[in-house]
Structure 1
């Protein structure tokens, strides 16, 4: 692969970084940036070339959760190999998930950190693992988890490259944001934005969306597109607007969505009604029900008493297909959420990106409490960890299900790929 070819597919903002990589100027490379910053594209283009210029080496690409790999970072590397004009020289396998360079047998392996034993047991046919890539660095449970993995992989060789790429979380207290500020001689930190990418690579629609958000919500634009941590604390939702809604306001709502999170005891059954103002990017949550120890017939009756009919679509947790079927039998228009790998992360980020989430504290006291008190987890040292705790979030889940037809991109029912590749690069 010639240097000329690489320069035509690698973003201009990364040319000096690429030179440093091939000269092995550093061991660790920290790449952060907002949507369209091309950081993940950069790493996926460089890693295959590192292997080709260093015989006997292999690469390991990691995400926190294994079931998010195939439609994200694995697809990203397939794209990169194609862009480099090398597709015919690589064999793509999914069991196990890896790319094999046919002339030498060198491998790019893909694994999830949710099974540490599988990482420790990785064996390569020859040589050693010289390259690691932690995609979505902030999803890992702090520097300690990454260090533990590297202690298993950085052995048996003379040269190593470790890449960590991520979109900076909204909170400045997040461990990943704080970690990138720490200076170490063997690490190069690189920040990029979509403004440094060739506009034709991103497309007119991407640029229009960025400009629209800049005009309508400067704070969200700074975080999503410029990669600036604009939050200061541990609250997941910093766009909550708690206020009472008048009957006149509620009567004017015309884009209503309904969601149910199944539960019995101790986890409750939760229901929410919402209205989404797309023009202003404001979500209104104006009704709720919370019950313990009630069966499907009883909760269905509660919704029928509220006036819901077959015309009112309810999106519920698809993990209980029998409950969905029961609601249909009881006369409700209930469908299971599509969900899939990445859906929780994408839907939560969508909620966080809204200009505001208006919650009526009198109509929805339980929902208000959940949204206001929902916080990121922290390490034992008090640093925030990205990811969303699966507790005390029953109404939050009901709202996610209710709004799924809004935030889910069209045509994704088959693969459930929620985050566009350009948002990861």
Structure 2
């Protein structure tokens, strides 16, 4: 008679551990539960190997490990102890973890100084590298061939810090064939503790956004000169007042790969406030107006400015088959000119600051990542703009189109609407 054991994981990790893969991994910020989840799954897999009569080692590595106190041993122990049937299956000592039938045991090693000893470890079934952001390219090159048993796997968990680190390039920028990698942040952790949430809220109030995003949202730590809105935005809750200018609504079209994105924003005291956002990939023309009306309060009764590159979409959304309940009757395409994108960016940067409401998570992501190109050889920041991470930013430019002037033209103050 067979029985089933239950293991609880953050939902975003279920695809990571489903089906065959050579590489499994997760990257993200603090409080996501990725380290505990991967520690737990090493024990589950060790149980499965041992029950199947397979002998070998679960290798837990970090770039630096001077003693077991620097290793993942305690995480693995706590994960095993948290599940009664795993606790009953393992023999846990002060300096060892192994199945009671001794078929599978754990080994802990620092990759920087212990690679030669790792090569000699027999039958590595799984190599899990935690805190992998600082793992060198040399370590990855040497580790991978040592994990060579049939069906063996390499797991990696890390908090991104530098855009282009060896770990980031291998597992995030260009994930290897037969890999399952996910981003996991505190918002993806169903068991995110209230104590950590208090810390997160304190950091939101005390830290600059880039540092906060690195700690909690899995963003890169570096505040690069290439970031277009660097130093110009912050995150805060707000309620528009009666004397604010606006609201201003903008939409950027997308479909198969990019989202159709919309924003609602205001202007007050030389500050731009982005209050609401709405976006979806694969949004059909018939559904655009209804989708935006449900998420951008008041859009159906105000002027809406959109990308003029899709006049047929504008026409459809304006009438929507003459269904006046699901249309945006005041939508128009914006004027464009050579350099209009650059002039729009200059306008955005002309505000004292851009205040983004915390619920506008996609807009916030773009504010952090919208960038100029960087010369591959010299690292110099160029004047060309990277055409990505810009859908909600473009929607904001379109919303403010009447206020954006060609270079050299006078700046016009916003009109009350």
Q: Which has the larger radius of gyration?
A: 2
TM-score normalised over the length of structure 2:
0.48
